[in-house]
Amino acid sequence: MFGLGTTELILILVIVVVLFGAKRLPALGEGLARGIKGFRTNISDDADKPLNASESESKSA
């Protein structure tokens, strides 16, 4: 996982707690989760829609 070990992950977590405070962490995590969920939804919606040749020509013009 990106070459990060346990020590590095713990250090990053400590830095995040110091910067944002323990009370704001749940809201921060919730916002991050919503963003990831929205991103995945939009990607899967775009992948499901086939792009016709006529649509691609009109978009490029």
Q: What pLDDT shows up at residue 51?
A: 65
Q: Given phi > 0 = left and psi -120 to 50 = alpha, else beta, which region is 4? A: beta
Q: Is residue 58 part of a domain?
A: no
Can you state the percent helix, strand and coil of the chain, rounding each to 5? Answer: 75, 0, 25
CB 59 within 8 A of CB 51: no
- Is 11 or 60 the better-scoring residue by pLDDT? 11
Supply 40's token pair: 């995945």
Classify 17 as helix, strand or coil.
helix
Residue 34 structural domain: 17-44
Domain count, the chain: 1
Residue 1 has pLDDT above 90, yes or no: no
Q: Is residue 8 part of a domain?
A: no
pLDDT digits (tens, 9 = 90+) for 3-54: 889 999 899 999 998 998 888 889 988 999 999 999 999 888 777 776 665 5
Q: Is residue 23 part of a domain?
A: yes
Q: What pLDDT shows up at residue 8?
A: 93
Q: Is residue 59 part of a domain?
A: no
Q: Is residue 31 part of a domain?
A: yes
For the chain, the C-alpha Rg in angstroms (whole number) is: 20
Q: What pLDDT shows up at residue 46?
A: 74
Residue 61 has pLDDT above 70, yes or no: no
